[in-house]
Structure 1
Amino acid sequence: MPHTVKKRRVFYIPGYDPIHPRRYRELYRKEGAAQGAISGYEVALKPKQTQGAYGWRVEGAIDGAETIADVEVLVWSDIVQDSMDLGVWATYQQMVITAWRYIGSGALWRLMRLRKGPVVAALYPVVFLVVQLLIALLVAAGIGWLVTMWLPDWLGLLGLAVVPPMLHWFKKQDNKILAYYLMHDYSYSASTRGSNPPELEARMAEFSERIAEVLKGDTDEVLVVGHSSGAHLAVSVISDLHRAGKIKPDGPAFGFLSLGQVVPMVSFLPEAHRLRADLGYLCQQENISWVDVSAPGDGCAFALCDPVAVSGVAPETGKRWPLVLSAAFTQTLSPARWKELRWQFFRLHFQYLCAFDNPGDYDYFKITAGPVTLGSRFEDRQPSASRIEEPVNKFTSVNP
């Protein structure tokens, strides 16, 4: 019999995102209303009524039941902002280091064996930054050539003076191109070869403490949602909670929903011992439910790649999680909608948090505000037949 939910606590861990978390509230409000109109239910947003940095309440009327879900965003956007606070030349230095970390370790070639989409996304900022530098140097060379037509040859070097302002101009346009943003994203984990920077480790400990407080309270389900880079943070946060005995068999149902995960971008790096250990641990636990949702149409995620198996840390016996499912954008979005979004890669990476024209068994708003626990909802669901489980990672050590 399905486990029913009247009260739910949802903790959302964003990906590498410097923008204020209010964007997620507005996205939920807009897309929840759209999905409700399509599917015939209602999700109404109310002001936050719990502790925590940022969140909102959802009153759901779904499948003939009324529920209350308190959603809290676990904020690390300030850490992201600090990591992005680099000048032009520091970013180029960061680009060289990041490229070497992935190429020199062999991780890049192994990642390409999984999905080429996210690897292309990782190369995208490198290509754009190099092209921008070449354009600036070509302009400088042209100015230098013109100068030497009338002045001594050595004055042709004055053309190089245009390079810094041109590169700064390119950076100011990055809200359209996202080359700098993506470069900072991929370099954040690469800078420590896959280990968590101290400031992130400290914040993750705060996340664990916050969820542990709620696990003591009166709620039917605690659901952690990790999107993009937030998925691998969630793996470690939940593992810490479980090891500490905070997730109890007689406590609230505990669900973990990972969306559009990019776990291999970190777990394939040589020093990602902590993440690999947590993946191997969490996949064996009985009193949680872990569902991993992605879609081949999302070029920024390692779609349908079992993050435990491909990272090479799946145990020989006893592996329970994750249940790997496809959001199947080509089927769950209308042909017109798919045509509109197909080449909007960044927007598609957020589709998991949005409305679907023809939702299958994955419906973000039913999962977060509906009357059934995550575990019960997918209890009899078989994993996607096209999932990738081949262990590809070169680095499988879980101890430093």
Structure 2
Amino acid sequence: MTGPKTEAGRPVRRGVLYLGGYDPVTPEKFFARQARELGRFRKTWDVQAEPTPARPSEDGHVWQSEIETQGDGWSAHTDFRLLAWDDLVKDDFARPIWKRVPLSLGLLADFLFTGTIPRYFLAAWRFGLYFLAPFFFSLLFVIAAAFVTSLALRIDHWAVAWLAPVIFLLVYAGLMRWPGNRWFVSHLLDARTFMGEYMRGWRPDMEARLDRFAREILAVAATPELDELLIVGHSQGSVFALEALERALALDPGLAQRGLPISVMTVGSCVLQLGLHPAAKTLRARIQRLQGEENVEWLEFQTLTDVVNFYKTDPAKLMHLKPSPGRVFPHVLNVRIREMLQPADYSRIRNSLFRVHYQFVMGNTRRYTYDFFQICCGPIGLRERFSLREMPPARNHTET
């Protein structure tokens, strides 16, 4: 793999399109967080990095910021675009609980009876537990609500029997709100439902959004003097990063033959959440199509401490994709969250499941080969930076 080649003294010009996970965070909050994390990047690497205020497209589905970065003897210009779908998540959250819970139970039955959940445990047992966790907590709330209702039924009054169903529903709904919201129970149930519905072709809203994102990829790829095109998918966004690029290639079949290095980077990846389901034929076919494009590279970053990803797995192999002779797709690289952060910073987040999950796309406080902002804003292209299959320890691989 090779990185972008530029004339001496000319800034590296990079287009980055970012697809996040199933998250209701608004673009405004996303870019506020990015500005904060860029501060860590500046301090850790002793560089200058200045973003422009983020501005939305006319439809509000894409937000753009430009980041000018300067280091010792190098400079880079990053056209950073957030491909936003938080509005679809908020629409799901707005559904009443009496709709959301049955939908999630239907999803659970689907993934159980098709053998998908057992496949999770065979591939990465931590992800299997993570997948089942919100269903487990919801079941606990059902048991607690049934217990409270049984206590109420001991009251010798004719109205109690009539009120028992109301008591049960109120207690269950209350537990789903607290501590359920604190434990992200409803959020995770909705995320499971959304991905299952998308896989089955029941989310025309997301289909339309991905077509929009595909057109945005083509628009960025047409930027003059662009040295690298990078599509980043985090969490559930990993599925949609691959899907959006395949749709872009369907719109413009010659895109990958024009010499522009195109890479998909998946982190905290949920590709196998759908890819292991027998019904995910369309997803597997699209990834197979990407594998046939020699100028398209897929780099999958995995880590032991993030339960959301499938650690030490080859997604293409587990999805039974047909390999191309002499081609590695994806390049699977194992990284260590611990090495990205100073000891005190790591100790502070290590027990926070989602904070560890998000470290993939946040600023490091320790120099390490995997650094989200070095990848997006640094002088070295993604392909050149990760030419090795495995990550060396941080102490043996630092940059200046």
The equivalent of 1:239 in structure 2 is 246
Whether contact under 8 Å (1:283, 1:308) holds in the other structure is no
1:290 aligns with 2:295: no
1:307 maps to 2:312: no
Normalization by structure 1: what TM-score? 0.88
Larger mean Cα displacement after TM superposition, 177-186 or 307-316:
307-316
Gaps of 5+ in 1: 386-400
Contact 1:105 1:270 (8 Å CA) reproduced: yes
Task: Quote the Cα distance in structure 2 between the aligned partners of 1:324 and 1:63.
Answer: 31
Contact kept, 8 Å, 1:295 with 1:327, in 2: the verdict is yes
Identity %: 22
Alignment match, 2:270: 262
- Taking the aligned partners of 1:241 and 1:56, their CA distance within structure 2 comes to 22
- 2:215 corresponds in structure 1 to 209
- Give the RMSD, CA atoms, in angstroms: 2.3
For residues 56 and 95 of structure 2, what CA distance do their matches in structure 1 show? 36
1:47 aligned counterpart, secondary structure: coil
Residue 125 of structure 2 is aligned with which of 112, 116, 121?
116
Aligned position for 2:27: 21
Question: How many angstroms apart in 2 are the aligned matches of 1:338 and 1:277?
Answer: 39
Amino acid at match of 2:90: Q
Q: Can you list the C-alpha shifts for 1:120-145, whole angstroms capped at 9, x where unaligned?
A: 11111111111112211211111110
1:172 maps to which residue?
177
Alignment of 1:219-238 (within 5 A): 219-238=226-245
* Counterpart-to-counterpart distance in 2, 1:7 and 1:60: 11
Structure 2 counterpart SS, 1:113:
helix
Q: Is the deviation greater in 309-318 or in 215-224?
A: 309-318
Residue identity matched to 2:114: S
1:225 counterpart letter in structure 2: V
Q: Alignment length, in residue pairs?
A: 380
Q: Residue in 2 aligned with 1:163?
A: 168
What's the CA shift string for 1:251-270, capped at 9, x where partnerless?
53322211110111111122
- 1:381 aligns to 2:384 (yes or no): no
What CA distance in whole angstroms lies between the structure 2 residues aligned with 1:170 and 1:36? 43
Distance 2:350 2:52 in 1: 33
Q: How far apart are the structure 2 equivalents of 1:81 and 1:215?
A: 30
Alignment of 1:34-113 (within 5 A): 34-48=40-54, 51=57, 53-113=62-122
Q: Deviations over 1:273-294 (max 9, x none)?
A: 1110122222342212322112
TM-score scaled to structure 2, two decimals? 0.88
Match of 1:394 in 2: none
Distance 1:63 1:282 in 2: 37
Give secondary structure in 2 for the equivalent of 1:349: helix
Q: Would you identify which runs of 4 or more consecutive aligned residues in structure 1 move more than 6 Å?
A: none
The answer to whether residue 281 in structure 2 is matched with residue 276 in structure 1 is no
**C-alpha distance in 2 between matches for 1:167 and 1:246:** 54
- What SS does the corresponding residue of 2:181 show, helix, strand or coil? helix
Aligned residue identity for 1:162: I
